[in-house]
Structure 1
Amino acid sequence: MIRILLLTFALALPANAQTAAQYFGAAKTPSAQRPAPIGFYNRGCGAGMVALPETGPTWQAMRLSRNRNYGQPEMIEFLQQLSVAATRIGWRGLYIGDISQPRGGPMTSGHASHQIGLDADIWMLPPTSLTLSRAQRESLSSISVRTEDQRSVNRNWTPQHHALLQSAAMDSRVDRIFVAAAVKIQMCRTATPADTPWLQKIRPIAGHNTHFHVRLACPRGARGCTPQTPSVNELSKGGNGCDDTLTWWVTDYLNPPRNAPAGPPTAPHPRSYTLADLPAQCIDVLRAR
């Protein structure tokens, strides 16, 4: 059945498109459907996405040429509310990086995830202006809060960064937040038992020294959304993620021991997915007006 749908639908798609990323990258507007995240964060799409306005009283969307300022309504609301929270820690607001494409799906460059409208990147750079032009948003870069050797935070890291991440992690809609390992280690150094419920959502991952990546949980009632397994609460079992496994990021990761066993085979990057690799509903998302 999916082969028939693909052959029928192919006439309405770019003639040279072969991968799902090319199809979804060619979609310039959201689908006129009821909002719904479909599939998993790195293998899915998004129906009825909503655009984050390019500029608001406490935020600006960056890199507008990418056309990736779309998300599920829950994500857009979260970002707007977090930008207000940023003003309470002394920032003017937030610079928002990539969320998702208008209809989600794999991208021809960059992210493996950000496919269902529940992921967003937030710059570590405190805004100095919320009236940047489109051109300025293309040329301005964020700042790194990690040293070059990746082992600790640098002078750009401030108590305000900590407070902003805490505010985001304490939101019940948030499943996890990806940061550079040095950031997580620094936050663990000042952790108390009272911090555990939110600190366990802060997850170390490669890169992420110039932005942090917020991932929302599947919204209630979103039947087509595939949640993370195990979920944050199941994985943490009451911990805060500050155990010995965290130091792996600045020991074995940066300086692999000799004769270390080979890791698991690298999975295909989503840029190579075809439409057949995505949930069948994603074809309807592409076909919808």
Structure 2
Amino acid sequence: MRSFLKSVTGFAAVVASVMAMAAVDAAPARAEELAKNLFGHEPLPAALPAKSYGFYSKGCFSGGVAIPTDGPTWQAMRLSRNRRWGHPTMIALVEKLSRDAAAKDGWPGLLIGDISQPRGGPMLTGHASHQIGLDADIWLTPMPARPLTVAEREKISSVSMIKKKGLTVDDKVWTPAHMRLLRRAASYPEVERILVHPGIKKKLCDTVTGDRTWLRKVRPFWGHDSHFHIRIGCQPGSPGCKKQAATTPGDGCDKSLAWWFTEEPWRPNKDPDAPKARDLMTMASLPKECRAVLAAPAPASELAATYRGPGSVTDTGTSIAAVIEQADTIDPEAGAPISANAFLPTDGVKIPLPQWRPDE
């Protein structure tokens, strides 16, 4: 017992030391460095209690865990990006969705896109949100019956559900199983929002019968034609997490949806060269706790920080360094650089997208 207390006291001292370091303005230059560069190059999470700090598009989190690269009903994509980390509640929910959808909704398994970086924060490329471990992207392409190789996970494109040069769903690729998958995701009380392309929202509004209350959570947004974005609420134990506004009453199949099918939301950005928020955000822009998150020690290994929920299978154990090394051997003629986009468009599919998008 004396040995145990000594161990606990020692760990508490380490945590206290880290927090004290973060509270002191000993490195003003670091506070001015772009936060995306600091968070984007952290390979492992902060070995602290699971907490989210700040807002979905301006924050960080500690105590993150990774979803295993493979499970019985999921496969993680774009492994080289190292964005399969999240708050334990988020990771548990994604695994639960994969199991429930496979068992009850005829969906063979999830292909999982970006969740968050190991410690959250702004990303080097891509999303404005996904910063506090409470967002996850799920492809609308069903999981194949075999494990994908590392190279395939970098090269395969997610399939758009929207007609070429249009704004409505292509019935050649959309199926009732897509609707059931979205309904299952919306059924969980933790889920506050599901972002989809406006055309997908319209398809649901036009075809869902019976209980339509879950449609309130499904919100139209730019992009999201080949994947959907799950967002859960701030979790207990995270007083520094800033809640998002509640969704508006009703099923959302009203004038607010009709607006998306006018010219206004698709007009080109008047200033396409304007810098994105992540290109301006310094550590001084983030909650003060994010300095402690960056300074905190990491777990012993990536495998040690991998979530092991019900139904999980043994992870491949492939380190992120090995994944990147394998990804570097991919034929560059096959498509855009792997770091550029988690949802490379299907060949020939071009839907109207704005150059500017509000924070996702």
TM, length-normalised to structure 2: 0.71
> Is 1:146 the counterpart of 2:154 in the alignment?
no
Alignment of 1:94-109 (within 5 A): 94-109=110-125
Matching residue's letter, 1:214: I
**1:187 counterpart (204, 213, 223):** 204
Q: What is the Cα deviation at residue 40 of structure 1?
A: 0.3
Matching residue's letter, 1:194: D
| Runs (5+) with no aligned partner, structure 2 | 1-20, 298-360
Matching residue's letter, 2:244: Q
Matching residue's letter, 2:182: L
8 A contact 2:22–2:292 mirrored in 1: no
Q: How many residues align?
A: 271
Alpha-carbon distance between aligned partners in 2 of 1:160 and 1:191, rounded to the nearest angstrom? 12
| Runs (5+) with no aligned partner, structure 1 | 257-261
Alpha-carbon distance between aligned partners in 2 of 1:121 and 1:5, rounded to the nearest angstrom? 36
Alpha-carbon distance between aligned partners in 1 of 2:183 and 2:174, rounded to the nearest angstrom? 14
- Residue equivalent to 1:206: 222
- Residue equivalent to 1:36: 51
Alignment of 1:105-184 (within 5 A): 105-154=121-170, 155-184=172-201
Gap change, CA 1:115 and 1:255, over 3 Å in 2? closer
> Is 1:243 the counterpart of 2:266 in the alignment?
no
SS at match of 2:264: coil
User: Which runs of at least 4 in structure 1 moved beyond 6 Å after TM superposition?
Assistant: none
8 A contact 1:107–1:271 mirrored in 2: no
- Residue equivalent to 2:353: none
**1:81 counterpart (74, 96, 99):** 96
Q: Deviations for 1:139-181, whole angstroms, at most 9, x for unmatched residues?
A: 1111000112332100211100000000001110001000000
> Is 1:225 the counterpart of 2:236 in the alignment?
no
- Residue equivalent to 1:5: 25
SS at match of 1:65: helix
Gap change, CA 1:269 and 1:156, over 3 Å in 2? same
Q: What is the Cα deviation at residue 3 of structure 1?
A: 9.6
8 A contact 1:150–1:250 mirrored in 2: no
Matching residue's letter, 2:278: P
Higher relative contact order (CA 8 A, sep 6+): 2
**1:279 counterpart (287, 304, 310):** 287
Q: What is the Cα deviation at residue 280 of structure 1?
A: 0.2
Alpha-carbon distance between aligned partners in 1 of 2:127 and 2:105, rounded to the nearest angstrom? 29
Q: What is the Cα deviation at residue 75 of structure 1?
A: 0.5
Alpha-carbon distance between aligned partners in 1 of 2:110 and 2:279, rounded to the nearest angstrom? 29
TM, length-normalised to structure 1: 0.88
Larger radius of gyration between Structure 1 and Structure 2:
2
Alpha-carbon distance between aligned partners in 1 of 2:209 and 2:160, rounded to the nearest angstrom? 26
SS at match of 2:212: helix
Alpha-carbon distance between aligned partners in 1 of 2:69 and 2:277, rounded to the nearest angstrom? 29
SS at match of 1:106: coil
Matching residue's letter, 1:270: R
Q: What is the Cα deviation at residue 253 of structure 1?
A: 3.3
- Residue equivalent to 1:259: none
Alpha-carbon distance between aligned partners in 2 of 1:3 and 1:268, rounded to the nearest angstrom? 28
Matching residue's letter, 1:177: I
8 A contact 1:39–1:279 mirrored in 2: yes
Matching residue's letter, 1:241: G
Alpha-carbon distance between aligned partners in 1 of 2:260 and 2:157, rounded to the nearest angstrom? 26
SS at match of 1:177: strand
8 A contact 2:22–2:295 mirrored in 1: no
Gap change, CA 1:242 and 1:2, over 3 Å in 2? same
Gap change, CA 1:52 and 1:2, over 3 Å in 2? closer
Q: Deviations for 1:251-283, whole angstroms, at most 9, x for unmatched residues?
A: 133676xxxxx9xxx895223200000000000
SS at match of 1:5: coil
Q: Percent same amino acid at aligned positions?
A: 46
Alpha-carbon distance between aligned partners in 1 of 2:112 and 2:139, rounded to the nearest angstrom? 6
